[in-house]
Structure formats: C-alpha cells, structure tokens
Homo-oligomer: A and B are copies of this chain.
Amino acid sequence: MNVIEVPDASDERLADYVRLRDVNLRKSLEAEHGLFMAEGEKVIRRALRAGYVPRSVLLTERRRAALADVLDRLDAPVYVVAEDVAERLVGFDLHRGALASFHRRPLPDLEDVLRGARRVVVLEDIVDHTNVGAIFRSAAGLGIDAIVLAPRCADPLYRRAVKVSMGAVFTLAHTRLRDWYGGLEALRGQGFRLLALTPAPGSVPLAEALADAAPDARHALLLGTEGDGLSSRWLEQADARVRIPMAARDVDSLNVTAAAAIACYELVRR
C-alpha cells in the first residue's frame, strides 16, 4: 500500500478532492480529468468490486486503517490527511473519513446495453442528482435490466448520485443517448415498446398496459423531468401513455422517485 501523508490542503496531489460541494467546479473538473468520486467505505468497495480503477484514495487520520484489505492490492496512492485538512480541502466535515477518485470508463454502446434486456428505464431530463441516484437504487434493487439517459439527464456518477444510489450506478448497466430528438427510435428498433409515464389525462393505468403485452415483450419506461414531466416530443413518440392511479385528493402526482419505484415494481413482476 502506497501511503502518503499530506499536511497541506493546497498540495497538488489532492487536486481531485477540492471543493466537493461546488457543483459547477466539480462538473468541469470531473469531465476534464475523466474521474468520479466515491464517498464512504461501502461505496468505495462497491466501485472496486465493479472493476473501476482508482486514481487515488483519501483517508482522514482517524480512518487511516480503513479499506486496508483492498488497498493492499492496489497501486493507487493513499493520501492520509488530518481532519481539518480534509475539511478545508473538500469543503465540509468528512465524517465518513474515506473518499476515492476513480477513472471513468467510456459508456457502452446502446446496443450492448440493450442486448438481452427486457425491462429498461429511460430518463429524459432528470436534473437532480439525488433523484437520479434514488432511481438507480430502486431500479437495480427491483431488477430492471438497464437505464438509458437522455443527453441532458444529470450524471449518475456525480458524487451525490453515487452516494444516494448506494453504488447501484456501478452495477446497473447504463448509457446515454447522443440524440434526444430521434433517440427513442433506436429503442423501438430493438423491439422495445415505449411506455411514457405521465399523470396527464388520456393515460392508462400501467398495470393495464402491461396486462395486454406478450409475456416476452420488451418494455422501455420513459420518465420525464421533475417539474414538467416528459417533453411533448417523447410523449408523441411513445407507444402508450401510462399512469399510476391516483386517489381523488389534493395531491395530483407522485414525486419522480416514488413514481419510478412503483413503475419498476410493476414492470418486473410480469
């Protein structure tokens, strides 16, 4: 294990870890260097188990023995810093005591992600990393085969999404469409029936839409952005508009993570 004590938060070697709460800075830094961050022992272990290669690991002095079993086998440097150095560096109290910077991998081709998949979730423009992470966690837990992201959907490997997903972003196959306007055609071309989830009038209960389908049908569930839902383009492209039945109350819709969880549950039990 290559352990290096670093006394100074401005040390160049710690550059991957600066200002983790500064979303704009982090987005450009992570894109530029092709890296992502994993936080906490459990999530770091999951990234390693999924075959991601670490650039480096950062441990606070209190947790310097953490992860020793897996770090022994790695070449990546392990930086050990004092708690106050960690806080100055990342911008908050690093109470979990462990961070790691990993190399991203190129996203797989859509065709590879869809091969063999029967139930797929497609996220149009979810903007909130917490929601993206929560949807990955539910989808992976319930048994969805893959997730496809529209070009502007938030990054599932952003720190907050990784954390909320509990590392499900490492194991659940996913990729990103290059084209928003015509992107769904590629799914349809692979034989997927496109189900647009929307509370708008004219949609049918999801369970009904699925009851009509052949037992080996391939389904892609389309989920739209938090505020406005799916774009009219994608709604038009869908084969069916489906909804989760609501009670007649003052609440007219579910939040996107609750809706996604229910829809994934319904999708996998067929």
Known contacts A46-B250, A250-B49, A265-B265: does B168 contact A138 (CB below 8 Å)? no
Least CB distance from A246 to B in Å reads 5
Contact call B268/A265, Cβ cutoff below 8 A: no
Task: Annotate A257-270 by CB proximity to B: 1 below 8 A, 0 otherwise.
Answer: 11101100110110
Interfacial chain B residues near A140, Cβ < 8 Å: 247, 249-251
State how many residues of chain A have any CB contact under 8 Å with chain B: 38
List A residues 159-207 near B (Cβ within 8 Å): 164, 166-168, 170-172, 207
- Secondary structure class of chain A's binding surface, majority of residues: helix
Task: Annotate A135-172 by CB proximity to B: 1 below 8 A, 0 otherwise.
Answer: 00110111100000000000000000000101110111
Known contacts A137-B255, A257-B257: does B262 contact A167 (CB below 8 Å)? no
Contact call B251/A137, Cβ cutoff below 8 A: yes
Interfacial chain B residues near A251, Cβ < 8 Å: 137, 140-141, 166-168, 171
Known contacts A137-B251, A251-B171: does B246 contact A142 (CB below 8 Å)? yes
Assembled-state Cα–Cα distance A13/B124 (Å): 46
Interfacial chain B residues near A143, Cβ < 8 Å: 246-247, 249
